[in-house]
Amino acid sequence: MQINGVEIQDTFAEAFPMTATRLIITAADRFWARRAAESMTGFATSVIGCGCEAGIEKELDPSQTPDGRPGIAVLIFSVSGKELEKQVVRRVGQCVLTCPSTSVFAGMQGEKKVALGSHLRYFGDGFQLSKVIGDRRYWRIPVMDGEFVCEESTARCKAVGGGNFLVLSESLSGALKACESAMHAMRQIPNVIMPFPGGVARSGSKVGSKYKSLNASTNDAYCPTLRTVTTSLLPVGVTAALEVVIDGLTQSDVERAMRVGILAACEVGERHGLRAIAGGNYGGKLGPYHFHLHEILG
């Protein structure tokens, strides 16, 4: 299969089960809502070392938020409900509660709950107040610019982490051009985030390591400097490989983002030396979700 002269390799990308929640952060204006969201989703690229994977899903108009103010929707993914709750409470407490003018609300409803205001209310030192509207409880915590409003809890759902595709290019600049095009297109897709810096990882990893203490290590098959000393999977002429990683609320969300991203990369990438699109295939060792590139693009 080829798209605009770019080879789509006949392989699949592996992904694994996660659990996720959505939060809605609002503020006096879009600037402060985004500052809180960026801070909260920092250091959240991979569960390998960060505890969660998180990112900004989309901006929200005042008509789309619970309090009628500008907002940002963020998605947070983790490997268990317990770890997800720990990450949510810590990150909201340190990065949203502290940010001027902000409030935070549940971005999804469901039976499986994740604590939010029910834990953070104690910062109010006994001066906090609660209010029930309909069947939802909110906490009002006094702070130095007024009150921090925080919903008591959010919900979580099953999710998919680690969907991906690899961009193989004749040059690093060409790989970057292709990835930037893919990111621009994929950020329009709801229910997904690309958690790495700019949505792209240069340090793609394989499952396992010769060091027993590591669960993952550099994907040597795609490292151009190791072409002569390992079993390389880089086509002749390729000098740079970058990995686009996608987390989504459902398998179909990840598939849709992969399709849109690959098509955008191929549209721009051919004239900048993009040679092939591959997938992070680990022989089934990583997870049960297998995204076959030819099926997604067919």
Interval 39-54: pLDDT, tens: 999 999 999 899 999 9
131, two tokens: 């209010």
Which of 271, 270, 263, 268 has its CA nearest to residue 293?
Answer: 263
* pLDDT band of 261, cuts 50, 70, 90: very high
pLDDT value of residue 240: 97
What's the longest Cα–Cα distance across the chain?
67
Instruction: Give the dihedral of Cα atoms 186, 63, 151, 149; nearest 10 deg.
Output: 120
CA dist., res. 219 & res. 237, Å (int): 19
By DSSP bridging, strand 153-155 and strand 113-115 are: antiparallel
Nearest to 170 by CA among 279, 262, 269: 269
User: What's the predicted TM-score (pTM) here?
Assistant: 0.94
The architecture of the domain spanning 2-15+160-297 is 2-Layer Sandwich (3.30)
180-222 tens-digit pLDDT: 999 999 999 999 999 999 999 999 999 889 998 988 899 999 9
Fold for 19-157, please state it: Alpha-Beta Plaits (3.30.70)
pLDDT at res. 67 = 96
Supply the DSSP symbol for 235.
P
Spatial contact of 262 and 164, defined as CB atoms under 8 Å apart? no
Mean pLDDT estimate for the chain = 96
Cα separation, 173 vs 269, in Å, equals: 10
Q: Tell me the β-bridge partners of 19.
A: 78, 158
Question: At residue 284, does pLDDT exceed 90?
Answer: no
In a 3-state reduction of DSSP, which class is residue 117?
helix
CATH 3.30.70.520 domain span(s) along the chain = 2-15+160-297, 19-157
Question: Is 285:207 a contact under the CB 8 Å cutoff?
Answer: yes
The pLDDT assigned to 282 comes to: 86
